Structure 1
Amino acid sequence: MSHRLFVAHRPPPAIREALIATMHSLPGARWQDDAQLHLTLRFIGEIDAGQAEGLAAELDRVRAAPFPLAIESVGHFEKKRKPHTLWAGVTASQPLAVLQGRIERACRKAGLAPETRRFATHITLARLNSASASPAGFIAAHAALTSEPWTLDNFDLVESHLESAGARYETICRYRLSAS
Protein backbone atom coordinates (compact mmCIF):
# COMPACT_ATOMS: atom_id res chain seq x y z
CA MET A 1 0.00 0.00 0.00
CA SER A 2 1.34 3.44 -0.86
CA HIS A 3 1.04 6.66 1.11
CA ARG A 4 1.03 10.25 -0.22
CA LEU A 5 2.99 12.14 2.43
CA PHE A 6 4.44 15.51 3.32
CA VAL A 7 6.11 17.09 6.36
CA ALA A 8 4.46 20.23 7.70
CA HIS A 9 3.85 22.57 10.62
CA ARG A 10 0.32 23.67 11.55
CA PRO A 11 0.09 27.21 12.87
CA PRO A 12 -1.92 27.68 16.06
CA PRO A 13 -5.70 28.23 15.89
CA ALA A 14 -5.52 32.04 16.25
CA ILE A 15 -3.24 32.31 13.21
CA ARG A 16 -5.42 29.96 11.15
CA GLU A 17 -8.54 31.95 12.13
CA ALA A 18 -6.88 35.20 11.03
CA LEU A 19 -5.98 33.63 7.67
CA ILE A 20 -9.49 32.27 7.18
CA ALA A 21 -10.87 35.77 7.84
CA THR A 22 -9.05 36.97 4.68
CA MET A 23 -10.55 34.26 2.46
CA HIS A 24 -13.14 36.10 0.39
CA SER A 25 -13.47 38.47 -2.57
CA LEU A 26 -11.74 36.31 -5.17
CA PRO A 27 -14.26 34.66 -7.50
CA GLY A 28 -13.31 31.15 -8.59
CA ALA A 29 -10.74 30.60 -5.84
CA ARG A 30 -10.83 27.21 -4.11
CA TRP A 31 -10.12 28.32 -0.55
CA GLN A 32 -8.36 26.02 1.90
CA ASP A 33 -10.27 25.12 5.04
CA ASP A 34 -8.92 25.15 8.58
CA ALA A 35 -7.80 21.51 8.41
CA GLN A 36 -5.72 22.24 5.30
CA LEU A 37 -3.74 25.26 6.53
CA HIS A 38 -0.09 24.36 7.07
CA LEU A 39 3.49 25.33 6.28
CA THR A 40 4.96 22.56 4.12
CA LEU A 41 8.51 21.72 5.21
CA ARG A 42 9.03 18.90 2.67
CA PHE A 43 6.72 17.33 0.10
CA ILE A 44 7.32 13.57 -0.08
CA GLY A 45 4.76 12.24 -2.54
CA GLU A 46 3.78 8.59 -2.98
CA ILE A 47 5.92 6.07 -1.08
CA ASP A 48 5.31 2.52 0.09
CA ALA A 49 4.53 1.55 3.69
CA GLY A 50 8.05 0.31 4.45
CA GLN A 51 9.64 3.52 3.23
CA ALA A 52 7.05 5.53 5.20
CA GLU A 53 8.04 3.69 8.39
CA GLY A 54 11.72 4.37 7.70
CA LEU A 55 10.96 8.03 7.08
CA ALA A 56 8.99 8.30 10.34
CA ALA A 57 11.96 6.85 12.23
CA GLU A 58 14.44 9.25 10.57
CA LEU A 59 12.22 12.25 11.28
CA ASP A 60 12.13 11.21 14.94
CA ARG A 61 15.91 11.83 15.01
CA VAL A 62 15.59 15.45 13.83
CA ARG A 63 16.70 17.85 16.58
CA ALA A 64 16.17 21.61 16.69
CA ALA A 65 15.22 24.24 19.22
CA PRO A 66 11.80 25.90 18.96
CA PHE A 67 11.81 29.28 17.20
CA PRO A 68 9.40 32.09 16.28
CA LEU A 69 7.51 32.43 13.00
CA ALA A 70 5.07 35.05 11.73
CA ILE A 71 2.96 35.80 8.67
CA GLU A 72 4.58 38.66 6.76
CA SER A 73 3.03 38.90 3.28
CA VAL A 74 0.67 37.55 0.63
CA GLY A 75 1.41 36.57 -2.93
CA HIS A 76 0.89 33.94 -5.59
CA PHE A 77 2.77 31.26 -7.48
CA GLU A 78 2.37 30.83 -11.21
CA LYS A 79 2.30 27.80 -13.47
CA LYS A 80 2.83 28.47 -17.17
CA ARG A 81 2.60 32.22 -16.46
CA LYS A 82 -0.87 31.93 -14.90
CA PRO A 83 -1.68 32.38 -11.19
CA HIS A 84 -2.03 28.95 -9.62
CA THR A 85 -1.69 29.26 -5.84
CA LEU A 86 -2.51 32.15 -3.51
CA TRP A 87 -0.41 32.14 -0.33
CA ALA A 88 0.46 33.86 2.94
CA GLY A 89 4.20 34.28 3.33
CA VAL A 90 5.92 33.11 6.49
CA THR A 91 9.05 34.79 7.83
CA ALA A 92 12.14 33.11 6.41
CA SER A 93 14.76 32.65 9.14
CA GLN A 94 17.98 30.79 9.84
CA PRO A 95 16.30 28.44 12.36
CA LEU A 96 13.61 27.57 9.80
CA ALA A 97 16.25 26.92 7.13
CA VAL A 98 18.18 24.70 9.57
CA LEU A 99 15.06 22.70 10.48
CA GLN A 100 14.08 22.30 6.83
CA GLY A 101 17.64 21.17 6.00
CA ARG A 102 17.57 18.57 8.78
CA ILE A 103 14.22 17.30 7.54
CA GLU A 104 15.67 17.07 4.02
CA ARG A 105 18.63 15.03 5.34
CA ALA A 106 16.23 12.71 7.19
CA CYS A 107 14.34 12.18 3.93
CA ARG A 108 17.56 11.28 2.11
CA LYS A 109 18.58 8.87 4.89
CA ALA A 110 15.17 7.22 4.44
CA GLY A 111 16.02 6.65 0.77
CA LEU A 112 14.07 9.50 -0.81
CA ALA A 113 15.40 11.44 -3.78
CA PRO A 114 16.67 14.94 -3.00
CA GLU A 115 14.16 17.77 -3.28
CA THR A 116 14.99 19.86 -6.33
CA ARG A 117 12.51 22.69 -5.84
CA ARG A 118 13.46 25.80 -3.89
CA PHE A 119 11.97 25.88 -0.38
CA ALA A 120 9.34 28.65 -0.28
CA THR A 121 8.05 29.58 3.18
CA HIS A 122 4.30 29.91 2.69
CA ILE A 123 0.87 28.73 3.74
CA THR A 124 -1.47 28.03 0.82
CA LEU A 125 -4.69 30.04 1.08
CA ALA A 126 -6.36 29.06 -2.20
CA ARG A 127 -5.92 27.15 -5.44
CA LEU A 128 -6.62 29.11 -8.60
CA ASN A 129 -7.53 28.00 -12.12
CA SER A 130 -8.33 29.60 -15.45
CA ALA A 131 -11.84 30.48 -14.20
CA SER A 132 -10.49 32.33 -11.14
CA ALA A 133 -10.36 36.10 -11.08
CA SER A 134 -6.91 37.72 -11.04
CA PRO A 135 -5.42 37.64 -7.53
CA ALA A 136 -4.02 41.19 -7.94
CA GLY A 137 -6.92 42.84 -6.11
CA PHE A 138 -6.79 40.35 -3.24
CA ILE A 139 -3.02 40.78 -2.92
CA ALA A 140 -3.32 44.58 -2.94
CA ALA A 141 -6.12 44.50 -0.34
CA HIS A 142 -4.08 42.24 1.95
CA ALA A 143 -0.58 43.61 1.21
CA ALA A 144 -0.09 44.48 4.87
CA LEU A 145 -1.09 41.02 6.13
CA THR A 146 1.04 40.14 9.13
CA SER A 147 0.56 38.19 12.33
CA GLU A 148 1.81 38.11 15.86
CA PRO A 149 4.73 35.69 16.14
CA TRP A 150 4.07 32.14 17.26
CA THR A 151 6.51 29.41 18.23
CA LEU A 152 7.23 26.54 15.89
CA ASP A 153 7.78 23.79 18.45
CA ASN A 154 6.58 20.79 16.43
CA PHE A 155 6.18 19.41 12.94
CA ASP A 156 4.08 16.58 11.53
CA LEU A 157 4.32 13.75 9.05
CA VAL A 158 1.02 14.06 7.20
CA GLU A 159 -0.81 11.76 4.80
CA SER A 160 -2.86 13.36 2.04
CA HIS A 161 -6.01 11.53 0.97
CA LEU A 162 -7.26 12.82 -2.39
CA GLU A 163 -11.06 12.83 -2.40
CA SER A 164 -13.71 14.30 -4.68
CA ALA A 165 -14.28 17.20 -2.25
CA GLY A 166 -10.53 17.93 -2.14
CA ALA A 167 -7.54 16.77 -0.14
CA ARG A 168 -8.08 15.50 3.39
CA TYR A 169 -5.02 15.51 5.65
CA GLU A 170 -4.28 13.01 8.39
CA THR A 171 -1.44 13.50 10.87
CA ILE A 172 0.57 10.27 11.06
CA CYS A 173 3.23 11.40 13.56
CA ARG A 174 3.92 14.61 15.47
CA TYR A 175 7.52 15.50 16.34
CA ARG A 176 8.28 17.93 19.17
CA LEU A 177 11.22 20.31 19.09
CA SER A 178 13.15 21.05 22.25
CA ALA A 179 16.12 23.19 23.20
CA SER A 180 18.09 20.14 24.38
Structure 2
Amino acid sequence: MHRLFVALRPPPPIRAHLAATMEGVPRARWQDDEQIHLTLRYIGEVDRRAAEEIVLALGHVHAAPIEVALAGVGGFEKKGRTDALWAGVTPHDALAALHRKVDHALIRVGLAPEGRAYLPHITLARLSRNAGFGPEIERWLATHAALSSPVFRLDYLTLFESHLGGEAARYEVVERWPLG
Protein backbone atom coordinates (compact mmCIF):
# COMPACT_ATOMS: atom_id res chain seq x y z
CA MET A 1 0.00 0.00 0.00
CA HIS A 2 1.07 3.57 -0.72
CA ARG A 3 0.20 6.47 1.63
CA LEU A 4 -0.07 9.50 -0.67
CA PHE A 5 -0.70 13.23 -0.56
CA VAL A 6 -0.49 16.11 -3.05
CA ALA A 7 1.44 19.23 -2.03
CA LEU A 8 3.43 22.29 -3.01
CA ARG A 9 6.97 22.94 -1.69
CA PRO A 10 8.00 26.45 -0.69
CA PRO A 11 11.43 27.60 -1.94
CA PRO A 12 14.50 27.11 0.30
CA PRO A 13 14.60 30.70 1.71
CA ILE A 14 10.98 30.39 2.88
CA ARG A 15 11.64 26.96 4.41
CA ALA A 16 14.63 28.45 6.26
CA HIS A 17 12.46 31.34 7.48
CA LEU A 18 9.91 28.82 8.81
CA ALA A 19 12.63 26.69 10.44
CA ALA A 20 13.71 29.74 12.45
CA THR A 21 10.33 29.68 14.24
CA MET A 22 10.61 26.03 15.27
CA GLU A 23 11.47 26.21 18.96
CA GLY A 24 9.94 27.04 22.29
CA VAL A 25 7.36 24.27 22.66
CA PRO A 26 8.67 21.33 24.70
CA ARG A 27 8.40 17.91 23.05
CA ALA A 28 6.92 19.34 19.83
CA ARG A 29 7.83 17.26 16.78
CA TRP A 30 9.04 20.04 14.50
CA GLN A 31 9.12 19.42 10.76
CA ASP A 32 12.53 19.20 9.16
CA ASP A 33 13.36 20.84 5.83
CA GLU A 34 12.34 17.75 3.82
CA GLN A 35 8.91 17.72 5.49
CA ILE A 36 7.93 21.35 4.94
CA HIS A 37 5.12 21.55 2.39
CA LEU A 38 1.69 23.00 1.75
CA THR A 39 -0.79 20.15 1.40
CA LEU A 40 -3.35 20.45 -1.38
CA ARG A 41 -5.02 17.07 -0.82
CA TYR A 42 -4.41 14.13 1.48
CA ILE A 43 -5.14 10.88 -0.35
CA GLY A 44 -4.29 8.17 2.16
CA GLU A 45 -3.47 4.54 1.52
CA VAL A 46 -4.00 3.15 -1.97
CA ASP A 47 -2.76 0.09 -3.83
CA ARG A 48 -0.21 0.23 -6.67
CA ARG A 49 -2.84 0.28 -9.43
CA ALA A 50 -4.69 3.20 -7.83
CA ALA A 51 -1.38 5.03 -7.29
CA GLU A 52 -0.60 4.69 -11.01
CA GLU A 53 -4.05 6.04 -11.93
CA ILE A 54 -3.52 8.97 -9.54
CA VAL A 55 -0.21 9.82 -11.23
CA LEU A 56 -1.91 9.84 -14.64
CA ALA A 57 -4.84 11.94 -13.41
CA LEU A 58 -2.64 14.53 -11.70
CA GLY A 59 -0.58 14.87 -14.88
CA HIS A 60 -3.68 16.43 -16.48
CA VAL A 61 -4.10 19.12 -13.80
CA HIS A 62 -3.09 22.50 -15.21
CA ALA A 63 -2.67 25.77 -13.33
CA ALA A 64 -0.40 28.77 -13.37
CA PRO A 65 2.37 29.08 -10.78
CA ILE A 66 0.93 30.42 -7.55
CA GLU A 67 2.25 33.46 -5.69
CA VAL A 68 1.65 33.62 -1.95
CA ALA A 69 3.23 34.97 1.23
CA LEU A 70 3.42 33.68 4.77
CA ALA A 71 0.70 35.21 6.93
CA GLY A 72 0.59 34.46 10.64
CA VAL A 73 0.45 31.21 12.58
CA GLY A 74 -2.19 29.06 14.21
CA GLY A 75 -2.93 25.74 15.77
CA PHE A 76 -5.31 22.91 15.06
CA GLU A 77 -7.22 21.53 18.01
CA LYS A 78 -8.46 18.04 18.52
CA LYS A 79 -10.49 17.01 21.56
CA GLY A 80 -9.77 20.29 23.32
CA ARG A 81 -5.98 20.32 22.90
CA THR A 82 -3.67 21.76 20.26
CA ASP A 83 -2.23 18.92 18.18
CA ALA A 84 -0.48 20.89 15.40
CA LEU A 85 1.10 24.29 14.86
CA TRP A 86 1.06 25.85 11.40
CA ALA A 87 1.99 28.89 9.33
CA GLY A 88 -0.68 30.53 7.23
CA VAL A 89 -0.36 31.62 3.61
CA THR A 90 -2.24 34.24 1.66
CA PRO A 91 -4.00 34.82 -0.69
CA HIS A 92 -6.14 31.68 -0.70
CA ASP A 93 -8.00 31.96 -4.01
CA ALA A 94 -5.44 30.38 -6.35
CA LEU A 95 -4.64 27.67 -3.80
CA ALA A 96 -8.32 26.87 -3.30
CA ALA A 97 -8.81 26.70 -7.09
CA LEU A 98 -5.86 24.31 -7.47
CA HIS A 99 -7.17 22.24 -4.54
CA ARG A 100 -10.51 21.89 -6.35
CA LYS A 101 -8.78 20.85 -9.60
CA VAL A 102 -6.74 18.21 -7.75
CA ASP A 103 -9.83 17.00 -5.88
CA HIS A 104 -11.82 16.67 -9.14
CA ALA A 105 -8.97 14.77 -10.82
CA LEU A 106 -8.88 12.33 -7.89
CA ILE A 107 -12.66 11.92 -7.89
CA ARG A 108 -12.47 10.95 -11.58
CA VAL A 109 -10.21 8.01 -10.68
CA GLY A 110 -12.61 6.82 -7.98
CA LEU A 111 -11.46 8.52 -4.78
CA ALA A 112 -14.00 10.09 -2.45
CA PRO A 113 -14.14 13.90 -2.50
CA GLU A 114 -12.27 15.83 0.18
CA GLY A 115 -14.46 15.69 3.27
CA ARG A 116 -13.29 18.81 5.06
CA ALA A 117 -12.97 22.50 4.30
CA TYR A 118 -9.65 23.44 2.72
CA LEU A 119 -7.47 25.80 4.78
CA PRO A 120 -4.11 26.50 3.09
CA HIS A 121 -1.33 26.18 5.67
CA ILE A 122 2.13 24.76 6.24
CA THR A 123 2.36 22.41 9.22
CA LEU A 124 5.35 23.29 11.40
CA ALA A 125 4.93 20.92 14.36
CA ARG A 126 2.86 18.02 15.57
CA LEU A 127 2.13 17.86 19.26
CA SER A 128 1.60 14.69 21.23
CA ARG A 129 -0.61 14.64 24.31
CA ASN A 130 2.32 15.42 26.57
CA ALA A 131 3.97 18.03 24.33
CA GLY A 132 4.09 21.40 25.96
CA PHE A 133 1.37 22.93 27.99
CA GLY A 134 -1.01 25.76 27.24
CA PRO A 135 1.43 28.54 28.23
CA GLU A 136 4.22 27.36 25.91
CA ILE A 137 1.84 26.97 22.98
CA GLU A 138 0.18 30.31 23.67
CA ARG A 139 3.59 31.99 23.96
CA TRP A 140 4.72 30.48 20.64
CA LEU A 141 1.50 31.60 18.91
CA ALA A 142 1.87 35.13 20.31
CA THR A 143 5.57 35.36 19.43
CA HIS A 144 4.98 34.36 15.81
CA ALA A 145 1.52 35.88 15.26
CA ALA A 146 2.92 38.44 12.81
CA LEU A 147 4.90 35.87 10.78
CA SER A 148 5.19 37.15 7.22
CA SER A 149 7.42 36.89 4.19
CA PRO A 150 7.93 38.43 0.79
CA VAL A 151 5.75 36.97 -1.94
CA PHE A 152 7.10 33.67 -3.23
CA ARG A 153 6.17 31.33 -6.08
CA LEU A 154 5.01 27.75 -5.87
CA ASP A 155 6.08 26.28 -9.21
CA TYR A 156 5.48 22.53 -8.91
CA LEU A 157 2.61 20.23 -8.03
CA THR A 158 4.08 17.20 -6.24
CA LEU A 159 2.71 13.78 -5.35
CA PHE A 160 4.41 12.50 -2.19
CA GLU A 161 4.45 9.12 -0.54
CA SER A 162 4.63 9.20 3.24
CA HIS A 163 6.61 6.51 5.05
CA LEU A 164 5.75 6.29 8.73
CA GLY A 165 8.09 5.01 11.38
CA GLY A 166 10.27 6.15 14.22
CA GLU A 167 9.83 9.71 15.40
CA ALA A 168 8.99 11.38 12.08
CA ALA A 169 7.44 10.53 8.76
CA ARG A 170 9.71 10.49 5.72
CA TYR A 171 8.34 11.94 2.47
CA GLU A 172 9.36 10.64 -0.92
CA VAL A 173 8.56 12.41 -4.20
CA VAL A 174 6.55 10.08 -6.45
CA GLU A 175 6.04 12.52 -9.31
CA ARG A 176 6.32 16.26 -9.86
CA TRP A 177 4.66 18.48 -12.48
CA PRO A 178 5.54 22.09 -13.30
CA LEU A 179 2.76 24.64 -12.94
CA GLY A 180 2.31 26.97 -15.88
Give yes or no for TM over 0.5.
Answer: yes
Q: Give unpaired runs (5+ residues) of structure 1.
A: none
Instruction: Quote how far apart the aligned CAs of 1:132 are.
Output: 1.8
Instruction: Quote how far apart the aligned CAs of 1:166 are.
Output: 1.5
Instruction: Quote how far apart the aligned CAs of 1:59 are.
Output: 0.3
Instruction: Quote how far apart the aligned CAs of 1:74 are.
Output: 0.3
Instruction: Quote how far apart the aligned CAs of 1:165 are.
Output: 2.9
Residues 69-88 of structure 1: per-residue CA shift (max 9 Å, x gap): 11101010000011000000
TM-score normalized with structure 1 length: 0.95
Q: Give unpaired runs (5+ residues) of structure 2.
A: none
Q: What SS does the corresponding residue of 1:115 show, helix, strand or coil?
A: coil
Aligned partners of 2:8 and 2:97: how far apart in 1?
15
CA contact (8 A) 1:92 1:121 kept: no
Aligned partners of 1:174 and 1:95: how far apart in 2?
19
Aligned pairs, number? 177
Among 170, 173, 176, the alignment partner of 1:174 is: 176
Aligned partners of 1:33 and 1:122: how far apart in 2?
16
Paired residues for 1:1-180 under 5 Å: 2-133=1-132, 134=134, 135-178=137-180
CA contact (8 A) 2:92 2:120 kept: no
TM-score normalized with structure 2 length: 0.95
Residues 5-52 of structure 1: per-residue CA shift (max 9 Å, x gap): 000011000000000011111112111111110000000000011011
Instruction: Quote how far apart the aligned CAs of 1:143 are.
Output: 0.9
Which residue identity does 1:51 align to in structure 2?
A: A
Q: What SS does the corresponding residue of 1:90 show, helix, strand or coil?
A: strand
Question: In percent, how many aligned pairs have the same letter?
Answer: 50
